[in-house]
Amino acid sequence: MAKRLIQPSLADLKQDIAGVIPLPLILNWASSKRDVKKHNDLLAPYIIKGTVVSSDSSGLSKLSSQKSLLEVLKLVSEPKEVIFKYGSSTSGKAIGVWAADNTEMFYPEAIPVSKVVESMVEAQTEIASLKVQVGMAVHFGEFYEIGGGLCGDEADFVEEAAESFSGKGEIVISESVKEKLPENNFKLVKKDVKGLKEALYTVISTKPQRVVLRETAGSYPYPFTDSFYKFLKSSKVSELKREDGMYKNLSKNRVITLVRVDHDEKKLLLDFLTDMALGNSIMESVSKEFGIERVKSNGGLGIFASTDVRDSLAFARRIKQVLTFNGYVCSVGMAKGEVLIFPMKEGEEIAGGPVNVASKLAEDVGGRGVIFADSSVTQKPKVKLKGSKFELEVSGVMLKGLKL
């Protein structure tokens, strides 16, 4: 008998399934008339106005193929330290957990936009001496701060600007930021970019404005245990050894399955968040069905780990089937190898080459509704696999395997 396909309902949701989305907010919305007035009333307490700086590292995929995992974690952490140092000295607040290679900070409206840009120019000057470089985007507007993250069109815009339109060492600013800058203090060049909600400008130079650094309590919101972060921060790259006892305890050999879910555009943010919560309930249910470890998921992205290739392949097919049945389109990337899994206060964080490879396969290759299994998964699966071979270069890394 075929297994029942899951059709999620809001009544089935639990807070851990909803993830970072506050469940009362979703339930209040679902039980209302779901009109614009109710939507705005429910979201009003979550609105924050000010400047957001988002950053994205350059060349991480290539670096991951050349360095050990510990070296990569150390090198990627270094520019985050600098961004947090200058950002917090300018009254910025870190947003979310700075996993992978990106950062985000919010500066209240009372902080002059010019001070924020000047601070980031100083930060980029210091980062220039580091191995890992970053691109930054700066935008002013109204954002929704929900569950520790930023939501809405303005948040999507600044994140896309950092990821897709800023190069290493570059700072791009939006039209909203440009309008608030003193005319003679900044030299800007308009970028040839079309299709965005606002024009973008590259900051070429500023009049010297030395940022006064303050002693800040705490560190950037790192995706590690406290002990591992202290170990990483206190060690030089040349000193990092795999033989370290802490590393051995965290190191696992796992098959990583990364699921990317495409959600239809919604006119109202709460409709989109509801769709995300329901998608996450599917990820939760299917991973429990297969006994697969759900490292983290939010309805748009899920990372799962297993010790067995066959189990992972079966899970990948099943979750694709169930998501498709429920009207979602997903892409799945799979890779196998060494990862570090960090037990956190809430859930887990993960780092390692297989996560990066699986992410590239699910998010960057361009196949919607398909499963891409890296050669690390397909070489010795102990089960016959049918699929078409692929071999392509993504971000300087050669990927090959089977399209299932």
Identify whether residues 328 and 195 lie together within a single domain: no
Q: How far apart are CA 59 and CA 356, in angstroms?
A: 12
Q: How far apart are CA 208 and CA 214, in angstroms?
A: 19
In a domain, residue 4? The reply is: no
- Whole-number pLDDT of residue 209: 64
C-alpha closest to that of 269 among 363, 161, 154: 154
Q: Tell me: the pLDDT tens digits for 207-243?
A: 666 666 666 667 999 988 888 888 888 888 877 766 5
Task: State CA 368 to chain mean position distance.
Answer: 19
C-alpha closest to that of 150 among 34, 50, 57, 268: 50
- Whole-number pLDDT of residue 12: 52
The answer to whether 55 and 130 are in contact (CB under 8 A) is no
Identify whether residues 257 and 357 lie together within a single domain: yes
Identify whether residues 374 and 257 lie together within a single domain: yes
Residue type at 282 in one-letter notation: I
Last residue of a domain, one of 222, 239, 256: 239
In a domain, residue 124? The reply is: yes
- Whole-number pLDDT of residue 210: 64
Which range (103-117, 154-168, 226-240, 276-290) has the least confidence? 226-240
- C-alpha angle 65-69-71 in degrees, rounded to nearest 5: 95
C-alpha closest to that of 172 among 202, 196, 146, 150: 202
Last residue of a domain, one of 223, 239, 255: 239
Identify whether residues 341 and 209 lie together within a single domain: no
The answer to whether 393 and 399 are in contact (CB under 8 A) is yes
Retrieve residue 88's tokens.
């917090």
Q: How far apart are CA 20 and CA 23, in angstroms?
A: 9
Identify whether residues 208 and 292 lie together within a single domain: no
**CA-based torsion, 31, 36, 39, 40: positive or negative:** negative
CA atoms within 13 A on the CB side of 404: 25
Residue type at 6 in one-letter notation: I
Identify whether residues 226 and 88 lie together within a single domain: yes
In a domain, residue 12? The reply is: no
Retrieve residue 302's tokens.
């899920």
Which range (86-100, 168-182, 207-221, 344-358) has the least confidence? 207-221
In a domain, residue 30? The reply is: no
Counting the structural domains of the chain, the total is 2
Q: Is the pLDDT of residue 301 over 80?
A: yes
Identify whether residues 309 and 219 lie together within a single domain: no
b/e map of 335-371 (b: 16 or more CB within 10 Å)?
Answer: bbbebbbbeeeeeebbbbbbbbbbbbbbeebeeeebb
Last residue of a domain, one of 206, 239, 272: 239
- Whole-number pLDDT of residue 336: 94
Q: Tell me: the pLDDT tens digits for 344-379?
A: 767 788 888 899 889 889 988 877 889 999 999 988
Q: Tell me: the pLDDT tens digits for 128-166?
A: 999 999 999 999 999 999 988 898 999 999 999 999 999
C-alpha closest to that of 206 among 171, 238, 232: 171
In a domain, residue 155? The reply is: yes
Q: How far apart are CA 268 and CA 361, in angstroms?
A: 30
Identify whether residues 162 and 285 lie together within a single domain: no
**Strands annotated E in 229-382:** 251-262, 293-297, 301-306, 329-343, 348-351, 371-374
- Whole-number pLDDT of residue 1: 37
- C-alpha angle 231-237-243 in degrees, rounded to nearest 5: 60
| Count of H-run helices and E-run strands, the chain | 14, 16
CATH number at residue 314: 3.30.70.1230
- The bridge status of strand 200-206 relative to strand 301-306 is unpaired
Q: Is the pLDDT of residue 15 over 60?
A: no
**CA-based torsion, 68, 231, 351, 290: positive or negative:** positive
Q: How far apart are CA 92 and CA 140, in angstroms?
A: 13
Q: Domain limits at 168?
A: 45-239
In a domain, residue 8? The reply is: no
In a domain, residue 38? The reply is: no
The structure's pTM equals 0.88
- Whole-number pLDDT of residue 39: 96
Identify whether residues 121 and 197 lie together within a single domain: yes
- The bridge status of strand 329-343 relative to strand 371-374 is parallel
| Three-class secondary structure of residue 174 per DSSP | strand
Q: What is the mean pLDDT of residues 246-269?
A: 88
Identify whether residues 67 and 168 lie together within a single domain: yes
Which range (174-188, 204-218, 241-255) has the least confidence? 204-218
Identify whether residues 227 and 310 lie together within a single domain: no
Q: Is the pLDDT of residue 338 over 50?
A: yes
**Residue 258 β-bridge partners:** 303, 333
Q: How far apart are CA 244 and CA 281, in angstroms?
A: 38
In a domain, residue 14? The reply is: no
Retrieve residue 246's tokens.
């802490």
Identify whether residues 170 and 305 lie together within a single domain: no
